[in-house]
Amino acid sequence: MGKYTEDATQLLELIGGKENIAAVTHCATRMRFVLNDEALANKEKIEQIPSVKGMFTNAGQFQVIIGNDVSTFYQEFARISGIEGVSKEEVKGAAKKHQNIVQRAVTVLAEIFTPLLPAIIIGGLILGFRNVLGDIEFGGQTIVEMSTFWAGVNDFLWLIGEAVFHFLPVGIVWSITKKMGTTQILGIVLGITLVSPQLLNAYAVAGTAAADIPVWDFGFATIEKIGYQAQVIPAMLAGFMLVYLERFFRRVIPEVVSMIFVPLFSLVPTVLAAHLILGPIGWTVGSWISNAVNMGLTSSVSWLFGALFGFLYAPLVITGLHHTTLAIDSQLIADFGTTNLWPMIALSNIAQGSAVLAVIFLHKGNKQEEQISIPATISCYLGVTEPAMFGINLKYLYPFVAAMIGSGIAGLFVTLMGVRANAIGVGGIPGILSIRPQDWGAFAIGMAIAIAVPFFLTMFFRRTGILNKIDRVDSVAMATSNAGNAPTVTTFHLDADTPEAELVAPADGEVIPITEVNDPVFSQKTMGDGYAVRPTSGHLVSPVSGHIISIFDTKHAIGFKLANGLEVLLHMGIDTVELGGTPFTLSVKAGDQLEAGDALGSVDLSAIQAAGKETDLIIAITNMADVEEFNLMRKGQVTAGQNVAIAIPKVKNE
């Protein structure tokens, strides 16, 4: 039996079975499914599978986050399901059947820019470092002016920065041909023809008189020799024309001469059209877009534009629409030399990380969740938000909204302060390197807002229950959170004729509300209301008076039925089913009648802890539909058999 046999089997069943899977593959951390009917997937139960760290749907794919061990999980899943995996490209192709035209357009844009991100990120870092060397003054001089060595470094680094951003059209056209499955070297050649040194550099066009712009003179017509450095839309238009011409000529030209004539008839007309039609049109459209965005962020209502963009950027990430901002940012830098959009993107990254940081504090000690939340926070602060959003923030919702609000406020502030970036690609906290040096102070305040507001709002939302349906703080716990270790009793009155049930502590230890258990199945009260004891002793007693109706084979859970009809589960430890019963020694069997406080046996707490599991003894009423009222009387230190709670069943009409 493999390490993931049980989890993979559960996933196959909960995802709707083999018949519901149109295609499946995996990437570095996720299983990627294309499902025939996503409604058949039981998302709540899939999230409870121990190996699953989260899930989301994007670009028509149902993606299940496994983590670094995904390849091993995938192999086990393939063995159990009998489904042969396909390539990621084939999965994407199948996924498009579930997308509308807008989703397909966004997917295409994402697939064009994603392969370029490593270059854009390193280019952004380099330009940010050059900001420090060449623009920040120390005692009236910049580092470049004070040091020959650093002047040389600054000059050398421009070689890479220019290659990334000025020659971006080469990368764009290459990426289009790669994605569309046509000849990539033709894409590279086409890209070079857009930025060739023979052409007037795009950055010099505005300062060149019309009569001085060089041309190709064909006698009957002329074409201006203008380059498209850093231009996105002209490169995309030319790239797609090349792709579709090549596809057409491959169909109509005989294979025996295709190597000669397909490139000739595809490339030459595209280069001509790029400089005669597509380039000018693309330049104009790109300028319209960048001017509209720049006007929105510099107008009298810029504060509103900034607040809305900051607030809505995270939802754009969920839909994939955020990839469009890379094109807009690139166009803004091409047209204005800086962008006022990128600073807000970097702040949105920080805000999502700060919301997760608050969840870490709120769920302190939840080792299973910390495997997701801690790396996700670091990732956000370095500019990548998907693990945080899909693994934590969207799961609970209130941290996601808190981050959106914090990002909106930070976006409003930096927009009012006129903060602009010299480069893109570096997000999160390192994003300050991309900001104009004169704007560093204002951006630093924006970062402080993006850290503090989401953090404290997340705390507030959880404590007050605002936007919080599944991660509530128990009212008794709240009332006694500062009461120290002394047991605290809530006073209430019972009808003498009501067949109430007293529930006691199953061991010495600390009573906590069930909402604080580090297992969402219990903390979200999926199994029912109740409480837990964090034991300090391994001696176990019955939490209720009733008879035992079940004992799991792994001994980690015992079911009780009370005389008043209530059913209670004692679940010993979290994920201890994986231990096969070894830590548990029981002196009872199914059918035994017990009184509250009677001995059940013992549990080896050190063995559970050594296995990396938590020892919480969880008591849950599993038929809450029959419960009129549940009251947690006590929180804090207790001894085994001490009264903890009372449950009152509903009165049944005869």
Residue by residue, DSSP assigns 326-390 as HHHHHHHHHHHSSBSSHHHHHHHHHHHHHHHHHHHHHTTT-HHHHHHHHHHHHHHHTT--HHHII
DSSP line for 541-595: E-SSSEEEEEE-TTSSEEEEE-TTS-EEEEEEEESGGGGTTTTEEES--TT-EE-
Helix (H) or strand (E) holding 511: strand 509-513
Task: Give the end-to-end CA distance of the chain in Å, rounded to a whole number.
Answer: 52
- Cα-only R_g, the chain: 31
112 Rama sector, left if φ>0, alpha if ψ -120 to 50, beta otherwise: alpha
Tell me phi and psi for residue 35, to 5 degrees.
Answer: -100, 145
Cα(126)–Cα(618) distance, integer angstroms: 54
Residue 489 pLDDT: 33
C-alpha angle 394/400/405, rounded to 5°? 160
Cα(600)–Cα(622) distance, integer angstroms: 20
Write the DSSP symbol of residue 598: -
Cβ proximity of 609 and 584 under 8 Å: no
DSSP line for 254-274: -HHHHHHHHHHHHHHHHHHHI
Q: Which of 298, 292, 289 is nearest to 420 (CA)?
A: 298
Q: Which amino acid is at 547?
A: H
Write the DSSP symbol of residue 85: P
Cα(249)–Cα(262) distance, integer angstroms: 6
Cα(518)–Cα(615) distance, integer angstroms: 11
Residue 84 pLDDT: 66
Non-local CB neighbours of 94 within 8 Å, separated by 6+ positions: 22, 23, 34, 60, 86
For the sheet with 539-541, list strands across it.
539-541, 599-603, 584-586
Cα(318)–Cα(320) distance, integer angstroms: 6
Q: Which amino acid is at 424?
A: I
Only one residue has tokens 């046996």, namely 601
How, if at all, do strands 30-35 and 61-65 pair? antiparallel
Residue 653 pLDDT: 45
Q: Angle at which helices 279-296 and 233-252 pack, to 10 degrees?
A: 150
Cα(94)–Cα(100) distance, integer angstroms: 13
Half-sphere exposure of 381 (CA within 13 A, CB side): 12
Cβ proximity of 503 and 645 under 8 Å: yes
State CA 517 to chain mean position distance. Answer: 24
Token pair for 298 = 């510099």
Residue 373 pLDDT: 82
Write the DSSP symbol of residue 201: P
Half-sphere exposure of 114 (CA within 13 A, CB side): 11
Alpha carbon distances (Å) from 344 to 313, 358, 394, 404: 8, 21, 20, 11
Cβ proximity of 566 and 503 under 8 Å: no
Quick one: CA dihedral 630, 633, 635, 639, positive or negative?
negative
Token pair for 261 = 């004539």
- Annotated catalytic residues are 27
Cα(531)–Cα(523) distance, integer angstroms: 9
Q: How many CB atoms are located within 10 Å of the residue 288 CB?
A: 12
Only one residue has tokens 């470094």, namely 153
Q: Is 298 exposed, middle or buried (0-12, 13-18, 19+ CB in 10 A)?
A: middle
Residue 647 pLDDT: 87
State CA 69 to chain mean position distance. Answer: 18
Token pair for 501 = 């049930």
Cα(98)–Cα(58) distance, integer angstroms: 11
Which residues of the chain register pLDDT less than 70? 1, 27-29, 58-60, 67-68, 84-108, 110, 318-324, 368, 386, 390, 468-499, 651-654
Only one residue has tokens 């924006």, namely 446
Q: Which of 332, 245, 250, 321 is nearest to 297 (CA)?
A: 332
4 SS3 class: coil
Only one residue has tokens 């950055």, namely 203
Write the DSSP symbol of residue 435: B
DSSP line for 459-499: HHHHHHTTT-SSSPPPHHHHHHTTSTTS-EE------TTS-
Cα(351)–Cα(347) distance, integer angstroms: 6
